[in-house]
């Protein structure tokens, strides 16, 4: 079975169970400061998991683009990926464990679908703890389906609990499904979740019964939901009898493009194979991020920084393979060709993808030149003083300040008989991570699950800002991203020059005039075609016939959107632009707040 066949079969199966097939959401979450990328299929659905009505109903399924970089250092092994596709089906307060587990079992084992031997299937459930009870209900359902107790494993929260996408939000116990590959057990403790490769996870059913609070406690959700996930890459690898995801048709043309650009072969040796995998994964992820209609570019903050890290990490391994300068373009072309029939935005943004990859490669070459110059100065001083160990803090400065990879430093120092104080480097790196995490924890609050009064006001104000910018600056203005917390809104939009003070004042005045008019804010579900016909603003990445929510603010604006909104504009207070500046080439960024007088 190919990946195309798996996607099609899965979506048709769940459509037959009353699910509406919806489009993959953008890789860049809208109005959510808690995460940089869409990390799972449930992430864009958080508002609906906590009670908001979805325009397509209470049973949904799709194939979602996802990016996770928490395990980026593990990429290169047989299974870790930074970009992946996740098949999922959801119940928004509709069916629960009984149906979810039964349908998972049917799709996995029925000869009409995946046809896995039920005797090869093992599952895990949540073992419970002092705050949440053991999931005996799931075990009983698996028993009724024929899975004996000896193939049901109760595991702790770190293994069988799905946390929220950010710091707070919907979460709950899960049951995971594993196929026994037939390998010998690695020991007496070998079980699903073991890293030896005997058990291969193919599906995960999450039962969202709880809402994690800011203080770390768990409250019951007002509706019980189901969120499931089946990774496309991992599942077809198992279906095709492949040893790892890189042997499937999803990676074959990408690896071939890499091989065509160097004099090495994928199977030459483990080190070469590892480098091939890293380049293939990182360029594939970069293509999908660059190809997203929200317009991410390499940069030093947020999503742009992650993208830059992926590209520059691929450059490091490309040099190891002997790939020439500006190597990424033909590899990117292979990714686009391989995926554009499923994700047409890649073809639509082909020129942007290739040009940004090429430009970032050139930037990194300049960075390497500067880092190399700095390292040479350090090595000269060390030679003068007969030193043979490079201080860890110096190696980290080269890495952090100059972007010079540690592996490059190690290679150059090794050629001159100089070692590196790795403990010192690791200590400096750990301190850097701790400081970064503290800053992130302070900044990341709220998110898609945040329906607080102030966030709701700012969400609505963003609609007014978008329309006002189009009116003042021109119809070329299009949203390129937004990020809302309880304190402020941040709005990125297409525009090629700095706004004048007169333009800023005109936008502020227009938004505040609409607020003063106290216009009604109404919502109507309709198809994406109807929204287009009515002139609603949107990225329009939904598929033909798909239902969306259209919010209308008096006769001022009409926009496709999800999330909370006020009932009337008079609730918003005074709108003020605090800052306007460049976000990236051709994209401007506004930060704004809503202010209230002390007697409000």
The C-alpha angle 452, 455, 456, rounded to 5 degrees, equals 80
pLDDT value for 79: 76
Candidates 215, 344, 321, 347; CA nearest to 263 is 321
CATH code of the domain made up of 453-595: 3.30.980.10
Token code pair at residue 110? 């029925």
Q: Compute CA distances 88 → 15, 80, 413, whole Å.
A: 12, 19, 48
Which residue spans within 189-217 are E strands per DSSP? Answer: 199-212
In which residue ranges of the chain is pLDDT below 70? 31, 165-166, 433-451, 539-545, 597-600
How many helices (H) and strands (E) the chain has is answered by 18, 18
pLDDT value for 162: 87
Q: Compute CA distances 465 → 427, 472, 505, whole Å.
A: 45, 10, 12
Token code pair at residue 460? 């609505």
pLDDT value for 411: 78
Domain boundaries in the chain? Answer: 3-247, 252-363, 453-595
pLDDT value for 337: 97
First to last CA, the chain: 62
Token code pair at residue 355? 């040009």
Alpha carbons 375 and 397: distance in angstroms, whole number = 10
Write the Ramachandran bin of 101: left for phi over 0, alpha for psi from -120 to 50, otherwise beta: alpha
pLDDT value for 544: 61
User: Contact at 8 Å (CB) between 474 and 488?
Assistant: no
Domain 3-247 listed as CATH 3.20.20.370:
no
Alpha carbons 215 and 200: distance in angstroms, whole number = 35
Q: Is the full-model pTM beyond 0.85? A: no
Candidates 231, 93, 94, 104; CA nearest to 170 is 93
Could you tell me whether strands 557-560 and 419-420 are parallel, antiparallel, or unpaired per DSSP bridges? Answer: unpaired
Which residue spans within 371-438 are E strands per DSSP? Answer: 389-390, 419-420
Alpha carbons 429 and 397: distance in angstroms, whole number = 10
User: Contact at 8 Å (CB) between 587 and 295?
Assistant: yes
Q: 389-407: buried (b, 16+ CB within 10 Å) or exposed (e) per residue? A: ebbbebbbbbbeebbbbbe
């Amino acid at each position: 079975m190919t990946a195309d066949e798996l996607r099609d079969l899965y979506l048709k199966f769940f459509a037959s169970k009353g699910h509406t097939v919806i489009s993959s959401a953008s890789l860049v979450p809208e109005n959510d400061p808690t995460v940089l990328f869409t990390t799972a299929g449930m992430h864009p659905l958080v508002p609906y998991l906590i009670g908001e009505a979805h325009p397509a109903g209470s049973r949904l399924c799709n194939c979602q683009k996802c990016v996770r970089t928490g395990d980026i250092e593990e990429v290169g092994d047989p299974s870790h990926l930074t970009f992946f596709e996740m098949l999922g089906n959801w119940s928004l307060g509709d069916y629960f464990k009984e149906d979810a587990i039964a349908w998972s079992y049917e799709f996995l084992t029925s000869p009409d679908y995946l046809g896995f031997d039920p005797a090869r299937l093992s599952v895990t459930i949540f073992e419970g703890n002092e705050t949440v009870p053991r999931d005996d209900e799931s075990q009983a359902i698996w028993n009724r389906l024929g899975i004996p107790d000896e193939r049901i494993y109760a595991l702790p929260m770190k293994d069988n609990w799905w946390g929220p996408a950010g710091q707070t939000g919907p979460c709950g116990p899960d049951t995971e499904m594993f196929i026994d590959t037939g390998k010998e057990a690695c020991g007496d403790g070998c079980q699903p979740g073991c890293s030896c490769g005997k058990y291969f996870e193919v599906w995960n059913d999450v039962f969202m019964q709880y809402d994690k609070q800011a203080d770390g406690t768990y409250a019951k959700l007002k509706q019980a939901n189901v969120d499931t996930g089946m990774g496309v890459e991992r599942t077809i690898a198992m279906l095709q009898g492949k040893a790892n995801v890189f042997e499937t048709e999803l990676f074959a043309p990408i690896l071939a493009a890499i091989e065509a650009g160097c004099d090495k072969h994928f199977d030459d040796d483990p080190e070469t194979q590892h480098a091939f995998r890293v380049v293939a994964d990182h360029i594939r992820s970069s293509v999908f991020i660059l190809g997203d209609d929200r317009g991410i570019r390499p940069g030093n903050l947020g999503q742009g920084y992650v993208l830059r890290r992926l590209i520059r990490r691929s450059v490091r391994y490309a040099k190891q393979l002997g790939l020439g300068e500006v190597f990424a373009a033909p590899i990117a072309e292979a990714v686009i060709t391989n995926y554009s029939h499923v994700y047409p935005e890649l073809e639509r943004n082909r020129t942007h993808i290739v040009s940004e990859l090429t430009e970032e490669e050139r930037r990194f070459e300049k960075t390497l030149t500067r880092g190399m110059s700095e390292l040479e100065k350090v090595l000269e001083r060390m030679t003068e003083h007969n030193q043979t160990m490079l201080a860890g803090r110096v190696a980290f400065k080269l890495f952090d300040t100059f972007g010079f990879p540690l592996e490059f430093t190690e290679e150059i120092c090794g050629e001159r008989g100089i070692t590196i104080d790795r403990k010192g480097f690791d200590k400096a790196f750990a301190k850097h991570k701790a400081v970064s995490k503290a800053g992130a924890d302070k900044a990341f609050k709220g998110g898609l699950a945040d329906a607080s009064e102030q966030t709701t006001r700012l969400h609505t104000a963003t609609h007014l800002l978008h329309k006002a910018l189009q009116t003042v600056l021109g119809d070329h203005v299009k949203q390129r991203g937004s990020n809302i917390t309880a304190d402020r809104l941040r709005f990125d939009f297409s525009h090629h020059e700095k706004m004048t003070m007169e333009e800023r004042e005109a936008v502020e005045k227009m938004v505040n005039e609409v607020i003063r008019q106290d216009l009604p804010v109404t919502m109507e579900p309709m198809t994406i075609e109807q929204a287009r016909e009515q002139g609603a603003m949107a990225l329009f990445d939904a598929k033909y016939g798909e239902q969306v929510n259209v919010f209308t603010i008096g006769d001022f604006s009409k926009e496709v959107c999800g999330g909370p909104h006020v009932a009337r504009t008079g609730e918003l207070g005074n709108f003020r632009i605090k800052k306007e500046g460049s976000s990236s080439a051709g994209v401007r960024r506004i930060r704004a707040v809503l202010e209230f007088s002390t007697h409000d």
